[in-house]
Structure 1
């Protein structure tokens, strides 16, 4: 009985993930080129015509009556509660875009126009080149003190961050706060942001295209903050912004240089707090990293 309960919860979690990712049906033998469909709809809008609603995903070949199919499935699948489809964010009125060099170039140009952090936030709010904006509830721009000497950069926001519009406010954020307190600091002593400012559906990893589109904005954000010490929380943000390929185990604790606004910023990578929650034994290594961060701040 307990095993069936566990399987049911796992299946429900999987269905939740699919729904948040926009998957609400099973594909059949016929395939739909949704990129081409998006192009066709955009062309119709340019001509002043209202495109027809996208067709539902085709069903697979008929394998018998609906009752027969349901009977066969129910013999093997545990009972699952009905999960209503999640509404798409209001910004989804914009058609999805296909990530390409033109979009990345537009992101670079827009980010370069920002003279202040407020300008940069406004640029991101107006930018429709990243499809993650279509499913996210809020833009997760930053938290903390923009005049701080210390800046943290993670990869992407999660569920709690998406609800509140601030980075690192869930369990991993609470752990980060505790780590800061341990070295005599708090959020007023640091500035916190992510490479990707919108939550990927289901907390999946951002695609390389999504990361590349968002990269100019975080680069400009670092330029405007111009910290003395830059800390990458996890390997993903370090790889994106430093161009290194080492894993976090090999990279962490090693001081590097990040090209800042007229200076070389001391940069270091450490374990992401979410990883520490899953692997608490690694906290001892992060503690060493944070002691090194405190020493670097003191010596500069």
Structure 2
């Protein structure tokens, strides 16, 4: 009668156990395999091999840096200084001026404008040249002015970006997002009742639901306040046919201001 476990069967079983990871036949004490970990000793680099390079720490999020810097500003003067010193935004290195604001802080109306272009960068003002003349005429037609001595008749204005983009190209959305915490803090500190969004870049950066042509003249909510998109002076100078729509939007703004508080 043939043996139940001959040499070759025993050898095959041993080989199978080795393949399955068995490395000891007998232990001095029972082994609880449920408590084992898969820890392995650290690999020893081969002689002459380059040392392992530790991964670089991730760069801080510029939006979070902007939010912290803006939140720390107790007033508009401090906010302007924090914005001017904000290093992560590369635009500041190529601009001549940091365009912060104009008009009277505390006015009921605050204009949020497109980023400065060449004329504004040179003047250090949110609107300059022929655009500034036309804007004052537009505001004057509904009883407002950037130079008004009283807050009821005054306006305050600031661009969505304080620096000009190289070549007056459309700004990078990353720059708009990076600087938005400063703009939100700006609105908070200025405390207007109403916002007027003037310009296609400002509208695209701040408003939902479409471009300036679609949204103009329609009230929406922005930063906790009523906001009205309107064509900017530069657009009206380039296309005078739009002045009719702009006039209708200005009357919409005047009607909102005349409502009882």
Q: Would the TM-score normalized by the shorter structure come out above 0.5? A: yes
- Contact 2:104/2:155 (<8 A) preserved: yes
Give per-residue Cα distances to partners, 1:161-202, cap 9 Å, x unaligned: 111211102222221111011111110310010010001111
Alignment partner, residue 177 of structure 1: 136
Give per-residue Cα distances to partners, 1:46-100, cap 9 Å, x unaligned: xxxxxxxxxxxxxxxxxxxxxxxxxxxxxxxxxxxxxxxxxxxxxxxxxxxxxx8
SS of structure 2 residue aligned to 1:183: coil
Distance 1:204 1:245 in 2: 23
Aligned CA RMSD, in angstroms, stands at 1.4
In structure 1, the gaps of 5 or more residues are 1-99
Alignment partner, residue 161 of structure 1: 120
Alignment partner, residue 281 of structure 1: 241
How far 1:155 moved relative to its partner?
A: 1.9
- Contact 1:141/1:194 (<8 A) preserved: yes
Give per-residue Cα distances to partners, 1:251-291, cap 9 Å, x unaligned: 0000111233xxxx111001121111111001000001011
Distance 2:244 2:206 in 1: 26
How far 1:101 moved relative to its partner?
A: 6.5
Q: 1:254 is matched with which residue: 187, 196, 218?
A: 218
Task: Considering fraction of residues, name the structure with more helix.
Answer: 1
Distance 1:196 1:124 in 2: 10
- Contact 1:235/1:269 (<8 A) preserved: no
Distance 1:138 1:255 in 2: 32
SS of structure 2 residue aligned to 1:285: helix
Q: 1:200 is matched with which residue: 142, 146, 165?
A: 165
Alignment partner, residue 291 of structure 1: 251
How far 1:121 moved relative to its partner?
A: 0.3
- Larger relative contact order, structure 1 or 2 (CA cutoff 8 Å, min sep 6): 2
How far 1:239 moved relative to its partner?
A: 2.9
Distance 2:250 2:60 in 1: 38
Distance 2:60 2:168 in 1: 25
Matches within 5 A, 1:34-45: none
Give the number of the structure whose alpha-carbon radius of gyration is greater.
Answer: 2
Task: Give the 4+ runs in structure 1 shifted more than 4 A.
Answer: none
How far 1:235 moved relative to its partner?
A: 3.1
Distance 1:241 1:220 in 2: 14
- Contact 2:204/2:212 (<8 A) preserved: no
Q: How many residues align?
A: 196
Distance 2:200 2:123 in 1: 25
SS of structure 2 residue aligned to 1:140: coil
Matched, 1:145 2:104: yes
Per the normalisation by structure 1, the TM-score is 0.63
In structure 2, the gaps of 5 or more residues are 1-58, 148-153
Per the normalisation by structure 2, the TM-score is 0.72
Matched, 1:213 2:178: yes
Distance 1:270 1:234 in 2: 7
Distance 1:160 1:239 in 2: 22
